[in-house]
Structure 1
């Protein structure tokens, strides 16, 4: 046997002998149809994104997000409104088939099916066509989702009571706010009788549920009468003793400052004292 007999040397043409530099392909033969992803396409995307980001930053500086009054957990009449990109889901929960006993349908099942269908769209339609008319499945799902979102958002904005929302979230001027005396028997009665639920813990009001009690145009006797009999849409809610009623009325008339200068009927007494 001769040395080397039976051995074969195999060369693989797929492995280049010399490494070539990473030069992007020449797309000059397809002007306007395709281009190199790096750096041409990606750099242009970054530039467009930077322009929009700077625009949004300028918008937030020029028009800050509107703020409402401090959140009050005792305000049961406050009607919250989600941000604009959730308004279509907010509107969906107003319909009978998606509210009440069917809340799970409106909050979980319908949104889950909608977003699941959009997520599966690439696998349901594997066509290579780029025209929407030649991709009926993907186009129909996308158009249906866009139309439903626009319609529900429009309905939510149209049906919302914007005047009541502005009133219930209106912020009072700091000059009008007074730190009421909470360490007082009148405040304890104010809380026990449920006044805090409609008029706030600082008598600042709770929007649509009840007005503020600053500078009320009633004297002590009128406040006591309103607490028992009610006025306008406010029902009579007081069910304590006459002594507690008098303490509460005096406390409210004094604007939560029983040891200081009061409002309401006390203003007349102050004017009489000044004249004397």
Structure 2
């Protein structure tokens, strides 16, 4: 270019003599390689999104969320399990070098180093090669991260007691108990019992549901007086009559003995009466024959 050709001097700056409008190139210049954003591109994206949305809705209907019982802050035996994408971190905290006094190592330091290395991978290996074996640093870090996550997740799933987890979160139907019965009023005065079994007798921090086991009145009295397992003895505060009333109420599954068909003394008496009635006809017939 000759000096000054096609240029105009305006003070100390030089600008082109002819300005061309900034018009994007037409699609016809790239046949088969480009397409219009509207409606071609958006229509295809919407169709793919609709297919995935319908599939997701079908999965939610076919496999509903595994709901558990209402959270109880007094339940100390419950073992929570994180979602599947956090199981590798959950498993990491089970090892000795990352738990107990070293919890900070397993919860902060090791995950921080791992995720920090992945974030720094583009700067640690800034080559222009696209083949993985030509970029050993970035490929090695990514492969190490994938293998570690898969291994820890598998170990967490394999070591978890799924049967115990299903039982501890199982939803139980509320039992309809007679709160107007004398046995219920006596139970409400026993702070030691309420502290373990809860105010509604459905179980608490240290004791199970009172009505889970099928005991008769005498067995309930024996357990209250002498204890059972981790349950201490001599925790009842009251008279012997109140103890018998409470035991009959528990044996009758939360109903007053005169209102239900529980396993208390009422059942034993009814069974004895039934046996007596069965024997009476035989005795009567024998007496008639002798006469």
Q: Which band: TM-score by shorter chain? A: 0.7 to 0.9
Deviation at 1:60, TM superposition (A): 0.5
Residue 239 of structure 2 is aligned to residue 239 of structure 1: no
Indicate the residue corresponding to 2:160 in structure 1: 160
Indicate the residue corresponding to 1:249 in structure 2: 247
Indicate the residue corresponding to 2:220 in structure 1: 223
Residue 59 of structure 2 is aligned to residue 55 of structure 1: no
How many residue pairs get matched? 258
State the secondary structure of the residue aligned to 2:74: coil
Q: Unpaired segments of 5 or more residues in structure 2?
A: 1-7, 278-291
State the secondary structure of the residue aligned to 2:16: coil
Deviation at 1:52, TM superposition (A): 2.5
Deviation at 1:116, TM superposition (A): 2.1
Indicate the residue corresponding to 2:138 in structure 1: 138
Indicate the residue corresponding to 1:187 in structure 2: 188
C-alpha contact (below 8 Å) 2:177/2:253 kept by paired residues:
no
Indicate the residue corresponding to 1:213 in structure 2: 210
Indicate the residue corresponding to 1:17 in structure 2: 20
Indicate the residue corresponding to 1:263 in structure 2: 262
Indicate the residue corresponding to 2:126 in structure 1: 126
C-alpha contact (below 8 Å) 1:93/1:107 kept by paired residues:
yes
Pair 23,270 (structure 1): closer, same or farther in 2 beyond 3 Å: farther
C-alpha contact (below 8 Å) 1:187/1:251 kept by paired residues:
no
C-alpha contact (below 8 Å) 1:88/1:156 kept by paired residues:
yes
| CA–CA separation in structure 2 for the residues paired with 1:111 and 1:180 | 54
| CA–CA separation in structure 2 for the residues paired with 1:221 and 1:95 | 49
Q: TM-score, normalised by structure 1?
A: 0.75
Q: TM-score, normalised by structure 2?
A: 0.71
C-alpha contact (below 8 Å) 2:251/2:262 kept by paired residues:
yes
C-alpha contact (below 8 Å) 1:91/1:152 kept by paired residues:
yes
C-alpha contact (below 8 Å) 1:74/1:196 kept by paired residues:
no
Pair 122,70 (structure 1): closer, same or farther in 2 beyond 3 Å: same
Q: Unpaired segments of 5 or more residues in structure 1?
A: 1-6
Deviation at 1:160, TM superposition (A): 0.9
Deviation at 1:247, TM superposition (A): 5.5
Provide Cα deviations, 1:122-151, integer angstroms capped at 9, x if missing partner: 222222222211121211111111111111
Larger radius of gyration: 2
Pair 44,222 (structure 1): closer, same or farther in 2 beyond 3 Å: same
Pair 96,261 (structure 1): closer, same or farther in 2 beyond 3 Å: same
Pair 76,263 (structure 1): closer, same or farther in 2 beyond 3 Å: farther
| CA–CA separation in structure 2 for the residues paired with 1:201 and 1:128 | 69
Q: Relative contact order, CA 8 A, sep 6+: which one is greater?
A: 1
| CA–CA separation in structure 2 for the residues paired with 1:267 and 1:16 | 107
Provide Cα deviations, 1:44-83, integer angstroms capped at 9, x if missing partner: 5554444323211210111111212222222221111112
